[in-house]
Structure 1
Amino acid sequence: MTRICVFGAGAIGGLIGARLARADVADVALVARGAHLEAMQAKGLSVTQAGETFTVHPKVSADPRELGRQDYVILTLKAYALPGIVDALAPLIGPDTVLLFGQNGLPWWYFYKHGGRFDGHILESVDPGGLLWKTLGPERALGAVIWQAAELGAPGHIVHGFGDRLTIGEPSGEISDRARKLSALLERAGVKSPVRADLRNEIWLKLWGNLSFNPVSVLTGGTLEALARDPGTRAVLAAMMEEARAIGEALGVVFSVSVEERLDMAAKVGAHRSSMLQDVDAGRPTELDALLGAVIELAQMTGIATPALKLVYDLARFRVLAA
């Protein structure tokens, strides 16, 4: 049976792992910590979705050395945490282990087999010093765009909010056997998992909303719906998204919707407080550099002016550091 480890099995990672374990399509192990880990060790992992609750009992540990080599490792930690877990990953990785990266923002492997003028470029804002590139190796990476929302209702208990899609793709654009295999396992577990040849387009579609709404929510305290409805904040968001679109298009990205349509997509989520705002309020680190700092780095590389993005980044960075 295929061995799959979810590293960072909080709300999203735990949801994915629980669905795989419930479907019994893989030998599932979860890496977690703290009270959440203790609760899962004692009583299993429970998931509430669509008014129903199920409980599974996968292997759980804080120490990857207890789990052994895996076929796939699904990494659902925040982007800023990745450099800190490189050594801990080593016991899970064999010669053919595939690493699926499900972080928000621009991924560290973005320019691996990109094919453009920046092919092989390391993004300093998300991979300082190229640590991930040099130690994990971009050839192991599968990209992912996670369109699911969940939260920890209590340690050992995940509440699924909305969304059921996890798109995956190779950095090269190849529809590989390893991507197809993981997609099939996720589909059997009830997770919609298309394999895309143009995953970077979908990365930007999600990033487009995150790079604008998240930092502006940190500055204003507004929900997605409120920010999209207010004329003033909507204009700021639109200006940020227009600048980001110019950068993406300069790198070959095709945007499938307009700025106005993307703003309306976020408004339909409702009175949701962004994950970045929640992190700031809780005193946790944020994904500001992965979501916005990396885009500003791309702007410098491509020579595109980004006054709105830079202004919001500088203000949000001050707010984050002051929290």
Structure 2
Amino acid sequence: MTQPSNPPVLTDRASSWLIVGAGALGQLFAAHLASQRAVTLLGRRDAPSTLGYLTAEGEQRRIALPRLRLRDWRPSPPPALVILATKAHDGEAALAELEPRLDPTTPLLLLQNGFRLQPRLTTCWPGPVLCASTTEAAYRPTSPSTSGEPAVDVVHAARGHTWIGDLAGEHAELAERIAETMNEAGLAASACADIRRRLWHKLAINAVINPLTARYRIPNGELAHPARQREVTALVGEISRLMAAEGIEPPEAGWMALVQRAIGNSAANQSSMLQDVLAGRPTERDAILGPLLEAAERHALDVPALRALYSSTPG
């Protein structure tokens, strides 16, 4: 690993931030954060040094942004923060490829769905590891412009909120500083002391919305149709028992209200899993449903609806 003698300071506006993963969420965060930091976006392919962005208010922008292939990036200057915005199943491989070029004390911020990658990296990465739970919604359009380049690379489908914290409870000040920068960049964010609970709450939402919309190829709002409510109710019932066994406190209004509110708030959106299915990409089935099935094994709970959903969801 590289070992700079003077590690960059996170709060310094001249410090660089590295975003790994050029999917919709990575591009969305890069488009905003580039106004506050020197941001580099790493992906699998060569890309133009500008990014086309359609805001949540419908304003089209083109933002200057270095975009490199992961293998081509060199740490000059070294980043003050690495935001890992890959899919959950790609996160460890991407970080392993990047690791020899990073100072081992570099903080990580994880944006993945599920609850598999977060505890593993918290344990094995030597520097601070923070996790984020976000309700920001974005997607990548497929229509090219007449010039051959995408007119818009990423669409901000709906504004949300991002909570930031660490599972070890050791980096509250760092979480505050990152959240402050995100707010300055136009992304609503808060540091929180209960990120584990936030991640499990989002997992409960994703475990219903993502697999069902991917199976039926429908937007999120279609899950509110009476024909889908029997499946939703069965899944939420099993999830609520698993959460109780794991010691995860429910939201004040209950698990069903949490899921139904998420369906309503994102009615017009395509879930990330449906986007993956339509694009022929691997899905996050294991990252989203896997932790719940593992919890069922730990607590000897019968979850037939979740097991059937896992079997019928594309992997």
- What TM-score comes out, normalization by structure 1 length? 0.82
Asked if 1:158 corresponds to 2:154, the answer is yes
Q: 8 Å contact 2:19–2:82 — kept in the other structure?
A: yes
- Number of the residue aligned with 2:188: 192
Counterpart-to-counterpart distance in 1, 2:83 and 2:225: 36
Distance 1:270 1:109, change over 3 A: closer
- Number of the residue aligned with 1:210: 206
The within-5 A match list for 1:296-315 is 296-315=293-312
Once the two structures are TM-superposed, the CA of residue 150 in structure 1 deviates from its matched residue by 1.3
Question: Which amino acid in the other structure matches residue 7 of structure 1?
Answer: V
Once the two structures are TM-superposed, the CA of residue 135 in structure 1 deviates from its matched residue by 5.3
SS at match of 2:175: helix
- Number of the residue aligned with 2:135: 147
Report the aligned-residue RMSD.
2.2
- Number of the residue aligned with 2:63: 56
Higher helix proportion: 1
Asked if 1:169 corresponds to 2:165, the answer is yes
- Count residues with an aligned counterpart: 289
Counterpart-to-counterpart distance in 2, 1:175 and 1:133: 12
SS at match of 2:107: strand
Q: 8 Å contact 2:135–2:160 — kept in the other structure?
A: yes
Moved more, 282-291 or 249-258: 249-258
Counterpart-to-counterpart distance in 2, 1:175 and 1:234: 41
Counterpart-to-counterpart distance in 1, 2:312 and 2:153: 36
- From 82, 87, 94, the equivalent of 2:103 is 94
SS at match of 2:247: coil
- Number of the residue aligned with 1:4: 17
Counterpart-to-counterpart distance in 2, 1:134 and 1:252: 21
**Cα deviation digits, residues 63-120 of structure 1 (max 9, x gap):** 354244321111111101113213322145214211111011114233xxxxxxxxxx
Counterpart-to-counterpart distance in 2, 1:189 and 1:272: 23
- Number of the residue aligned with 1:279: 276
Q: 8 Å contact 1:30–1:58 — kept in the other structure?
A: yes
Task: Tell me the percent identity.
Answer: 29
Once the two structures are TM-superposed, the CA of residue 31 in structure 1 deviates from its matched residue by 0.6
- From 227, 246, 252, the equivalent of 2:241 is 246
Counterpart-to-counterpart distance in 1, 2:170 and 2:59: 38
Asked if 1:237 corresponds to 2:232, the answer is yes
- Number of the residue aligned with 1:136: 125
SS at match of 2:189: coil
- What TM-score comes out, normalization by structure 2 length? 0.84
Q: 8 Å contact 1:46–1:158 — kept in the other structure?
A: yes
Question: Which amino acid in the other structure matches residue 151 of structure 1?
Answer: Y
Once the two structures are TM-superposed, the CA of residue 133 in structure 1 deviates from its matched residue by 6.5
Q: 8 Å contact 1:99–1:142 — kept in the other structure?
A: yes
SS at match of 1:15: helix
SS at match of 2:190: coil
Counterpart-to-counterpart distance in 1, 2:178 and 2:122: 22
SS at match of 2:230: helix
Q: 8 Å contact 1:11–1:158 — kept in the other structure?
A: yes
Once the two structures are TM-superposed, the CA of residue 185 in structure 1 deviates from its matched residue by 1.1
- Number of the residue aligned with 2:257: 261
- Number of the residue aligned with 2:90: 81
Distance 1:133 1:186, change over 3 A: closer
Distance 1:261 1:212, change over 3 A: same
**Cα deviation digits, residues 37-58 of structure 1 (max 9, x gap):** 42x32xx112121122232223
Question: Which amino acid in the other structure matches residue 246 of structure 2?
Answer: L
**Cα deviation digits, residues 270-322 of structure 1 (max 9, x gap):** 24332212322322101000110221011111222212111211222xxx26x
Distance 1:272 1:193, change over 3 A: closer
- From 53, 58, 79, the equivalent of 1:47 is 53
Question: Which amino acid in the other structure matches residue 310 of structure 1?
Answer: R
Asked if 1:26 corresponds to 2:37, the answer is yes
Counterpart-to-counterpart distance in 1, 2:178 and 2:265: 31
Counterpart-to-counterpart distance in 2, 1:180 and 1:143: 13
Q: 8 Å contact 2:157–2:269 — kept in the other structure?
A: no
- Number of the residue aligned with 2:117: 108
